[in-house]
Amino acid sequence: MGIFSGKEIVLGVTGGIAAYKACEIVRELHKGSASVHVVLTASGAQFITPLTLQTLSKNPVVTDLFNLVSESEIGHISLAQRANLLLIAPATANIIGKIRNGIADDMLSTVVMATAAPVLIAPAMNSQMYASAAVRENVATLRERGFHFVEPDEGELACGTVGPGRLADVGKILEMGRIILSEKPLAGKRVVVSAGPTAEPMDPVRFLSNRASGKMGFAMARAARRLGAEVTLVSGPTALPDPHFLATVRVRTAEEMLGAVTREAEGADVVVMCAAVADFRPKKPSSRKIKKDGFGLKVELAPTPDILESLGRKKGSRLLVGFAAETDDLAQNAREKMRRKNLDAIVANDVSRIDIGFESDNNEVRIFFPDGEVMDLPLATKDGIAVGVWLALNGKLLRR
């Protein structure tokens, strides 16, 4: 079950060319099982029809404060009170100025003023307008008052100029919504998560690697961020884009990952090694492409550094958590790794099952602790498992 599930979200759509992107926002929220109520301003309705938004949201779209039918059925106060989150996307300079100055002359500005729910504003406008002193000051004041913003992206704008002003990526806006709606048990914690495989070069073309997709590690990093931690993700080569609102360091080899994780672990409260670090590397990588007959059917290997083991040797007060991908004797192997690497917990999953692990979007794990306690997290999405792992770690170790 995702974070939006069961949530009441009021989506304000104002008059800008990006209003069409509200459709995608509504669809995504709806897919996440949120109940979406769209408030469309008069100028917003010049760009997109209420019927479109009503069809997608499956709820009546409210456009007019003084419409007697809609006010009796779904009035501005009831919308303001029922909202778990009020999202305005796209937000024009006009609505931002009105909110800052306490003007409530239409449905959207009235709902904003009447709500106690968090308000997330995603501005979209011409770069010059966005850079204007009035907008800068309004945004800064609203931030101080606790309003949340997702800054616009840079790029080519509908007016022909290039610069900041384009509505932020919908995925980014939704991610900020998830962050806002999540509890924050990890607030104040600094977390490092590693993810993905490593790739050990043989020559400029070939490398030794493994099947890790990075999905579990990325989910662990995202979940920690949503739960309030300051997060750095150290990722080996994966096809996944950098997660929003956290720092991502990209590496390729085990040696590079050792360097990045060791550096980032300084001052961290928790290090979670989710990466499937290659255990061996070609001993003498060639700077030139090795010809087919140059291998002699043999590649000499050397061990890579064990990152967790090296962190475990100078642990300090930091918590160290490993992941173990096993095909046999899961409990025994996981416990042995936890002991050998001096870990505070190890999360184990059975990668011989095709419904979980590696490229799958789902997982099912057992968490082992040095005191013998074992926690089972049943089959769920990797996002769901990640939240479960963090809550388990927090309950048992971090809240000490």
Is residue 64 close enough to count as binding ligand CTP by CB under 6 A? no
Q: For ligand CTP, which residue of 14, 70, 253, 304 counts as binding (CB under 6 A)?
A: 304
Q: Which amino acid is at 30?
A: H
Which residue type sits at 391? L
- Least distance to ligand CTP from the beta carbon of 310, Å? 8
> How many C-beta neighbours within 10 Å does residue 269 have?
18
**28 near ligand CTP, rule: CB under 6 A:** no
- Closest C-alpha to 283, from 199, 198, 201: 201
Binding of ligand CTP at residue 273 (CB under 6 A)? yes
Instruction: Please state the closest distance from residue 322 (CB atom) to ligand CTP, in A.
Output: 3
Residues 281-300 that bind ligand CTP (CB under 6 A): none
Binding segment for ligand CTP (CB under 6 A), chosen from 21-29, 84-92, 290-298, 319-327, is 319-327
- Residue in 174, 179, 308, 351 binding ligand CTP, rule: CB under 6 A: 308
Tell me how far, at minimum, the Cβ of 304 lies from ligand CTP, in Å: 5
Rounded to a whole number of angstroms, the minimum distance from the CB of residue 137 to ligand CTP is: 48
Selecting among 1, 159, 331, 374, the annotated active-site residue is 159
Positions 337 through 396 that interact with ligand CTP (CB under 6 A): 337
Is 312 in contact with 320 (CB distance < 8 Å)? yes
307 binds ligand CTP (CB under 6 A): yes
User: Positive or negative, the Cα torsion across 180, 183, 186, 187?
Assistant: positive
**Is 166 an interacting residue with respect to ligand CTP (CB under 6 A)?**
no
Cis peptide before 118 (omega within 30 of 0): no
Ranges assigned E (strand) in the chain: 8-13, 35-40, 85-91, 119-123, 148-149, 153-156, 162-166, 190-195, 200-201, 207-208, 230-235, 247-250, 270-273, 280-282, 301-303, 319-326, 345-350, 362-368, 374-381
Residues 208-267 binding ligand CTP (CB under 6 A) are: 254
In the block, which residue shows the tokens 């010049």? 46
Q: Residue 159 catalytic?
A: yes
How many Cα atoms sit within 13 Å of 326 on the Cβ side? 20
- Which two tokens mark 162? 């290039």
CB of 330 to ligand CTP, least distance (A): 11
Q: Which of 150, 191, 193, 325 binds ligand CTP (CB under 6 A)?
A: 325
Stretch that binds ligand CTP, among 43-51, 94-102, 201-209, 322-330 (CB under 6 A): 322-330
Q: How far is the CB of 260 from ligand CTP (least distance, A)?
A: 12
Q: Rounded to whole angstroms, how far apart are CA atoms 311 and 313?
A: 5
Q: In the structure encoding, which two tokens stand for residue 245, read together?
A: 């609102």
CA angle 54, 59, 64 (to 5 degrees): 70
Out of 130, 149, 323, 368, name the contact with ligand CTP by CB under 6 A.
323
Angle at 21 between CA 183 and CA 142, to 5 degrees: 50
The footprint of ligand CTP (CB under 6 A) covers 254, 273, 275, 277, 279, 304, 306-308, 322-325, 337
Q: Give catalytic residue positions.
A: 159
